[in-house]
Chain A
Amino acid sequence: EVQLVESGGGLVVPGGSLRLSCAASGFTFSAYSMNWVRQAPGKGLEWVSSISTAGSYTYYSDSVKGRFSISRDNAKNSLSLQMNNLRAEDTAVYYCARDTSNYDILDAFNIWGQGTLVAVSS
């Protein structure tokens, strides 16, 4: 079964750090670009970051650029998001998501994890 399972969410104070992980199974992880998407409580979806298959290329939304870092370990079928200098507006459910195809990093997301909640509050 193709599956993505996020972990690492929790409550953190403003200015703090958190590292999210996403464990992939059921497919050739190294063949697909991967992504993080977040959803603030009661709000819509916001793309956060993407990483190419080998990790050579990374992309970030302006709202997280310079604070968040995406990475992957293809040997461990794992995706990570290091989040530093967290703000209240970073509070959201964070989803990892897989590209639909292994052709182009610019792609729709056909596999999603269940999400992990990050709450930034003092």
Chain B
Amino acid sequence: EIVMTQSPATLSVSPGETATLSCRASQSFTSNLAWYQQKPGQAPRLLIYGASTRATGIPARFSASGSGTEFTLTISSLQSEDFAVYFCQQYHHWPLTFGGGTKVEIK
């Protein structure tokens, strides 16, 4: 099983600033990585797939990169609606696995 580890668990950021979230995989793979955003009481929303491709309708302030075992999600110029929990997920190999999440909170 590929274990996905996200850091930090909580990130305190001021509106307008940049947030950088990390996701580390226990095994190397190229690009089968997704990022999701989840707000309280809502289903997750796909932000990024293929490690760096924005999903339909996702603003350009969300960007992502990485391959191998290290992946990064960057949220530039944080807006009020961006404060949420973010999960990474690998879909390279069964079982599919998610990271534990990073909560982005208002500083």
Q: Which residues of A are in contact with B by a Cβ distance under 8 Å?
A: 35, 37, 44-47, 50, 59, 61-62, 95, 100, 106-110, 112-115
Contacts of B43 in A (CB 8 A): 95, 112-115
Find A44's partner among B46, B93, B100 (CB 8 Å cutoff): B100
Partner of B89, one of A45, A50, A62, A112: A45
* B contact residues around A100 at 8 Å (CB): 46, 49, 55
CA distance A107 to B36 in the complex (A): 13
User: Smallest Cβ distance from A66 to chain B, in angstroms?
Assistant: 14
B positions within 8 Å CB-CB of A: 32, 34, 36, 38, 43-46, 49-50, 55-56, 87, 89, 91-101
**When the two chains form their complex, are residues A47 and B44 in contact, meaning their CB atoms are under 8 A apart?**
no
Nearest-CB distance from B87 to chain A (Å)? Answer: 6
Assembled-state Cα–Cα distance A106/B92 (Å): 7
